[in-house]
């Protein structure tokens, strides 16, 4: 049984009254892992874990929240749709929310779904089965038959307007045949065919660039390109599968035929009247999977009667009338030829196994990450071993097992490297941390990540200098360390492809403008390990100048409230490392901020606030900054140490717990009045 499945089994048998630190630690760990995976998937087009592992993690969260309802808050992933919203696009409010479909991985789960639907609506007996295309949900709006808008699912309620890019997809009709007057919404899937995906990756590899991860994430990233001409080159496809509002038909299958009449490519479908028929259709779809030109990862089961769909309704996250039955990952066996040590953009060193190529889920696979050396030891893998490889969720290749019966003689265990395989600097595994890291500021492998972090909004806020331009500058050898940014000339930027005079000047102006920021921006931007935005501000407020912080003793750093021994040691070591010190000195000489420019206000000194719910006019980051600027601390959870709670609409368990503990509850108007009184 899978590790997460075992954990779920344990969680379901927890006493409802029992609450212990191990449960809460596991809950917080799961929250963090799943939030990071969700953000990576929806916002960065990258999948750090398989769909099945993610879904099992969500189920474990749900079990823990059932046992401990006071832990759940409105932002829990168990009650909301993942969001892929980006600031670069106009926003569209969906007239009907675009919910995510619940997933199942076994016949028993499918049977439970059908039974629960029939318990609520006994006449729910006819089901439509369709291939589940692995792409991006899209809502198209037609007005009097003319395409006027295309929007992503976003967070389910609000999506990104990607009309210009979607109009480049040949499968999307700009005018519908025989469409009704007024507005008509059509939903479907944008996807990329295997041959297109492989062609793009071949092109990238021929230029020495890293290839895309999989067709689904490539399609997602393509839709968010700013230039529709570039989007058109990627040759995306579209298939229509749903009309969310009534057009007079009584069955979903009739709507699919109507979509075909309008001029769309539509999903093939099969009709089933029992769980046995549903599973037979899934076997048929799975058997033909390898012959398809596009990726599928399962089968979607929908109640065919549209009136009964309405009667069944939805949860806050998923419709009760539809289910995605996900196929089990394919597995192939192949010998391992070598193991490399790959250095990621954060300096993390990851062992990667290279093996004889095998065909899995529509693509050729020849390497798989081993994550860390704990995983290497768990598998007991050696060069020469025959291993079982799967693509988790049909996305990430991973080694599932080692066939010890086929192990050749003379093999040896894999030893972790003592030096960074890229820059050669010595490395060491730090106590309490699983991963190995290269901590060399000048290591070529970490450059991209360091630059992206440094220019981010909450660090040095250098606008118009995004990941793609940073990568171009690095490749053109215009920048190799952070200080090089402040030596850039307009001509350096204009010499790059697709960078005009005006764009280049905007970047130069933004770089110069960043020099006027405060010390905490600089401290956060330079990437001291364990020092986030809040800790950077604490150090800046405490020492006021970079010079005093650099001279601080370990004891002085450790004595600061809310600064633990690990963070203090990291800061102390950072400013005494010759490589780091040389770069800091270079940045200071170029005019970067070395003084804390905010006022030291102590109105909320010694107070710990917790934010919950949606505020009328302030977003959370702004409210947090207001509190911190006035000496307060903002915590993520309510406890006996909480001084007060700032609550907005749809406040959840945090508000309930504060009321139980008798902690004062305030609203946005109170906060603004408090700060207004200070200025009066």
Looking up tokens 């917080």 gives 28
Distance separating alpha carbons of residues 463 and 103, to the nearest angstrom = 40
Produce one character per residue of 410-432: b if its CB has 16 or more CB atoms within 10 Å, e if not: eeeebeebeebebbeeebeeeee
**Residue 302 counted as an annotated binding residue:** yes
**Residue 443 counted as an annotated binding residue:** yes
Question: Which residue, 53, 51, 59, 37, is CA-closest to 109?
Answer: 59
Question: Which residue, 127, 131, 134, 130, is CA-closest to 111?
Answer: 127
- Residue 160, SS3 per DSSP: strand
**Residue 449 counted as an annotated binding residue:** no
Distances (CA, A) of 281 to 271, 288, 651: 9, 11, 44
**Residue 11 counted as an annotated binding residue:** no
**Residue 377 counted as an annotated binding residue:** no
Question: Which residue, 390, 134, 132, is CA-closest to 286?
Answer: 132
**Residue 129 counted as an annotated binding residue:** no
Active site residues: 132
**Residue 326 counted as an annotated binding residue:** yes
**Residue 479 counted as an annotated binding residue:** no
Tokens of 585: 């000195």
Question: Which residue, 190, 189, 221, is CA-closest to 204?
Answer: 221
The conformation of residue 173, written as its DSSP 8-state character, comes to -
Please give the order of strands across the beta sheet that includes 644-647. 633-635, 608-612, 644-647, 665-666
**Residue 195 counted as an annotated binding residue:** no
The DSSP bridge pattern shows strands 127-133 and 296-303 to be antiparallel
Question: Which residue, 32, 39, 25, 104, is CA-closest to 68?
Answer: 25
Tally Cβ neighbours within 10 Å of residue 155.
Answer: 18
**Residue 25 counted as an annotated binding residue:** no
How big, in percent rounded to 5, are the helix, strand and coil portions of the chain? Answer: 40, 20, 40
**Residue 524 counted as an annotated binding residue:** no
Residue 588, C-beta contacts closer than 8 angstroms, at least 6 positions apart:
546, 594
Looking up tokens 């696979």 gives 365
- Residue 354, SS3 per DSSP: strand
Looking up tokens 């008509």 gives 184
**Residue 52 counted as an annotated binding residue:** yes
Q: Are 448 and 456 in contact (CB under 8 A)?
A: no
- For the chain, how many residues are written? 680
Of the CA atoms within 13 Å of residue 345, those in its CB half-sphere come to 10
The DSSP bridge pattern shows strands 103-104 and 127-133 to be unpaired
Q: Which helix (H) or strand (E) holds 299?
A: strand 296-303
**Residue 419 counted as an annotated binding residue:** no
Q: Are 159 and 329 in contact (CB under 8 A)?
A: no
**Residue 435 counted as an annotated binding residue:** no
- Residue 185, SS3 per DSSP: strand
**DSSP string spanning 435-462?**
SEE---TT-GGGHHHHHHHHHSTTTT--
**Residue 420 counted as an annotated binding residue:** yes
**Residue 153 counted as an annotated binding residue:** yes
Residue 277, burial from CB neighbour count under 10 angstroms (0-12, 13-18, 19+): middle
Dihedral over Cα of 513, 518, 519, 524: its sign: negative
Q: Where are the beta strands (DSSP E) in 586-643?
A: 608-612, 633-635
Residue list, annotated binding site for Zn(2+): 420, 423, 438, 443
Residue list, annotated binding site for NAD(+): 51-55, 100-101, 130, 153, 189, 302, 326
């Amino acid at each position: 049984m899978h590790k997460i499945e075992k954990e779920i089994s344990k969680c379901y048998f927890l006493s409802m009254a029992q609450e212990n630190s191990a449960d809460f630690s596991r809950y917080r760990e799961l929250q963090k892992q799943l939030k990071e995976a969700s953000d990576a998937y929806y916002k960065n087009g990258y999948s750090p874990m398989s769909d099945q592992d993610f879904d099992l993690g969500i189920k474990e969260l749900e079990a823990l929240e059932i046992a401990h309802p006071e832990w759940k808050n409105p932002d829990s992933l168990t009650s909301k749709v993942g969001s892929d919203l980006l600031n670069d696009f106009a926003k569209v409010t969906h007239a009907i929310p675009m919910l995510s479909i619940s997933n199942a991985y076994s016949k028993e789960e499918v049977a439970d779904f059908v039974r629960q639907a029939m318990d609520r609506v006994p006449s729910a007996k006819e089901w439509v089965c369709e291939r589940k295309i692995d792409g991006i949900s899209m809502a198209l709006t037609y007005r009097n038959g003319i395409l006027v808008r295309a929007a992503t699912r976003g967070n389910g309620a609000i999506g990104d307007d990607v009309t210009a890019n979607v109009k480049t997809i040949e499968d999307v009709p700009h005018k519908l045949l025989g469409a009704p007057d007024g507005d008509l919404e059509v939903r479907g899937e944008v996807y990329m065919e295997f041959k297109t995906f492989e062609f793009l990756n071949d092109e990238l590899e021929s230029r020495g660039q890293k290839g895309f991860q999989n067709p689904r994430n490539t399609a997602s990233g393509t839709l968010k390109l700013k230039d529709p001409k570039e989007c058109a080159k990627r040759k995306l496809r579209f298939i229509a599968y749903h009309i969310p509002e009534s057009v007079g038909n009584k069955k979903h299958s009739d709507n699919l035929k109507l979509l075909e009449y309008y001029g769309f490519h539509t999903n093939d479908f099969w009709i089933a009247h029992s769980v046995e028929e549903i599973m037979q259709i899934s076997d048929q779809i799975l058997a033909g999977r390898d012959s398809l030109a596009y990726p599928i990862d399962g089968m979607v089961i929908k109640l065919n009667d549209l009136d009964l769909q309405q009667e069944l309704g939805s949860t806050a996250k998923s419709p009760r009338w539809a289910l995605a039955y996900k196929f089990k990952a394919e597995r192939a066996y192949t010998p391992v030829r070598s193991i490399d040590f790959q250095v990621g953009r954060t300096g993390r060193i990851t062992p990667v196994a290279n093996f004889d190529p095998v065909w899995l889920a529509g693509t050729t696979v020849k390497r798989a990450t081993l994550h860390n050396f704990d995983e290497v030891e768990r598998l007991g893998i050696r060069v020469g071993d025959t291993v079982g490889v799967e693509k988790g969720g049909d996305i990430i290749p991973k080694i599932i097992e080692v066939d010890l019966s086929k192990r050749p003689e003379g093999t040896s265990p894999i030893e972790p490297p003592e030096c960074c395989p890229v820059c050669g600097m010595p490395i060491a595994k730090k106590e309490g941390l699983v991963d190995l890291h290269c901590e060399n500021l000048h290591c070529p492998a970490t450059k991209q990540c360091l630059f992206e972090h440094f220019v981010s909004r909450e660090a040095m806020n250098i606008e118009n200098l995004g990941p793609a331009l940073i990568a171009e500058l690095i490749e053109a050898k215009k920048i190799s360390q952070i200080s090089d940014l402040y030596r850039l000339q307009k001509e350096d930027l204009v010499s790059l492809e697709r960078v005009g005079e005006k764009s280049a000047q905007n970047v130069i102006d933004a770089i110069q403008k960043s020099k006027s920021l405060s010390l905490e921006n600089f401290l956060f931007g330079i990437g001291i390990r364990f020092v986030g935005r809040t800790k950077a501000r604490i150090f800046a407020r405490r020492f006021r100048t970079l010079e005093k912080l650099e001279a601080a003793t370990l004891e002085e750093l450790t004595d600061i409230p809310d600064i633990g021994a690990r963070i203090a040691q990291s800061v102390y070591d950072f400013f005494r490392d010759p490589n780091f010190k040389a770069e800091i000195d270079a940045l200071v000489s170029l005019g970067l901020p070395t003084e804390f420019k905010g006022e030291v206000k102590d109105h909320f000194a010694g107070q710990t606030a917790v934010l919950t719910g949606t505020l009328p006019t302030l977003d959370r980051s702004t409210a947090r900054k207001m509190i911190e600027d006035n000496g307060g601390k903002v915590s993520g959870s309510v406890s006996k140490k909480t001084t007060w709670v700032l609550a907005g609409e749809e406040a959840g368990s945090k508000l309930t717990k504060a009321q139980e503990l008798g902690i004062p509850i305030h609203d946005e108007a109170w906060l603004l009045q408090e700060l207004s009184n200070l200025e009066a």
